[in-house]
């Protein structure tokens, strides 16, 4: 029960952030940043239909198509997020001021809020329907990658907005907003880079590994490999450490094997002993 409450609370916070991004920044400035919300923004300015209502109406045929093509289980996870977002948009709109008419500021702040909100919704195992669902349906027919299909759909929305609003400048800002949203979603999904992964190719795996465990209290995994150029057997160590431990690990490697070949990479999420535990959300 606690996990279920936590999950739906996370989804609600996410859709509220999306609603704030739309009502405070994007809709008032005619920035149709792709997706169903972008189409709803165009409809709002053409016919006066509230954005939330338009979002819900546009999702209905998508849900019907999704059920027919993909089955009930495909759409159930998105239903709560879609309805909650539609309500959040229309219920908050009358009470929110428009803080800026500067298109660049509106693009940045609207994109960040939308990205944070959608990232939270995705992180808690839901979606807000819309073009994500459309892309999945189209993929079942065409076999194209979902990312490519989303790009094409969002591109059509932005193109339509440029024509309807008679402003290619607004369309260009919308493209910037889509980019910001995608990057912030990735940040929320993957987290900040708080750890470093080390791939260590060495002739002294035991010495390096023992010092990692002794001095840093970190684990290491070793596997055998063979150099393509030399044909010699080598050993590869994999270890993940906090950023504050990077310099110490480099010293350990240099002291144990000065000729070691080392690759480092940012690690955005580490699950397991010494870091964080797996979070599981159940319906």
Whether 63 maps to a domain, the answer reads yes
Asked whether residue 275 is domain-assigned, the answer is: no
- Eight-state DSSP code of residue 276: B
Distance CA(26)–CA(98), nearest Å, equals 10
78-89 burial, b if ≥16 CB within 10 A, otherwise e? Answer: bebbbbbbbbbb
On whether residue 93 sits in a domain, the answer given is yes
Q: How many CA atoms lie within 13 A of 115 on its CB side?
A: 22
Whether 83 and 98 map to the same domain: the answer is: yes
Do 96 and 205 fall within a single domain?
Answer: no
pLDDT above 70 covers a percentage of the chain that reads: 91
**281 occurs within a structural domain:** no
In this structure, are 199 and 177 located in the same domain? no
Would you say the C-alpha torsion 78, 80, 84, 86 has a positive or negative sign? positive
> Measured between alpha carbons, how far is 142 from 154 in angstroms, rounded to an integer?
17
Residue 267's pLDDT is what?
Answer: 83
**Is 21's pLDDT higher than 90?**
yes
**221-226 and 261-267 beta bridge pairing:** unpaired
Q: Give residue 282's pLDDT.
A: 46
Do 54 and 101 belong together in one domain? yes
pLDDT-derived band at 275 (thresholds 50, 70, 90) equals low
| Same domain as 153, residue 262 | no
pLDDT band at 277 (very low <50, low <70, confident <90, very high): low
Rounded CA separation 199/210 (Å): 16
- pLDDT attached to residue 279: 54
Domain boundary among 137, 165, 190: 190
| pLDDT-derived band at 52, boundaries 50, 70, 90 | very high
How high does pLDDT run on average in the chain?
87
CATH no. for residue 231? 3.30.70.120
The per-residue pLDDT for range 78-116, each reduced to its tens digit, is: 888 899 999 999 999 999 999 999 999 999 999 999 999
3-state secondary structure of 254: helix
* Residue 48 forms part of a structural domain: yes
Domain count, the chain: 2
- What does the pLDDT look like over 173-227, one tens digit per residue? 999 999 999 889 888 877 766 788 999 998 889 999 999 998 988 888 998 888 8
Closest CA to 10 of 276, 277, 192, 189: 189
Does 215 lie in the same domain as 153?
A: no
| Within-domain flag for 69 | yes
The residue behind tokens 């609003």 is 165
Per-residue pLDDT reduced to its tens digit, 123-153 = 887 788 877 777 767 777 777 665 677 778 8
In a shared domain, residues 177 and 208: no
Q: Can you give the pLDDT at residue 145?
A: 64
The Cα 137–Cα 67 span in angstroms is: 10
Domain with 237 in it: 195-267
Give how far Cα 275 sits from Cα of 42, 84, 123, 281, Å: 46, 34, 19, 19
Residue 283 has pLDDT above 50, yes or no: no
pLDDT recorded at residue 281: 44
């Amino acid at each position: 029960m606690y996990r279920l409450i936590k999950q739906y609370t996370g989804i609600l916070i996410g859709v509220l952030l999306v609603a704030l991004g739309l009502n405070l920044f994007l809709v008032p400035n005619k920035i149709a940043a792709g997706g169903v919300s972008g189409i709803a923004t165009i409809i709002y300015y053409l016919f006066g239909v509230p954005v939330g209502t338009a979002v819900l109406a546009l999702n209905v045929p998508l849900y019907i198509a999704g059920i027919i093509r993909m089955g009930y289980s495909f759409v159930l996870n998105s239903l709560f997020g879609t309805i909650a977002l539609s309500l959040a948009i229309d219920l908050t709109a009358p009470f929110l001021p428009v803080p800026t008419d500067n298109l660049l500021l509106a693009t940045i702040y609207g994109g960040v809020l939308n990205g944070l909100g959608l990232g939270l919704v995705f992180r808690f195992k839901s979606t807000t329907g819309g073009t994500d669902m459309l892309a999945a349906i189209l993929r079942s027919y065409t076999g194209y990658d979902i990312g490519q299909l989303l790009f094409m759909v969002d591109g059509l929305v932005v193109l339509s907005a440029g024509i309807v609003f008679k402003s290619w400048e607004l369309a260009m800002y919308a493209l910037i907003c889509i980019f910001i949203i995608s990057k912030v979603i990735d940040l929320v999904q993957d987290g900040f880079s708080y750890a470093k992964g080390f791939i260590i190719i060495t002739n002294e795996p035991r010495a390096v590994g023992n010092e990692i465990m002794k001095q840093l209290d970190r684990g290491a995994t070793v596997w055998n490999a063979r150099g393509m150029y030399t044909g010699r057997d080598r050993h590869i160590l994999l270890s993940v450490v906090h950023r504050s431990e990077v310099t110490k690990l480099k010293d350990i490697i240099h002291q144990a094997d000065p000729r070691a070949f080392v690759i480092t990479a940012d690690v955005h999420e580490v699950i397991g002993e010494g870091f964080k535990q797996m979070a599981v959300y159940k319906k």
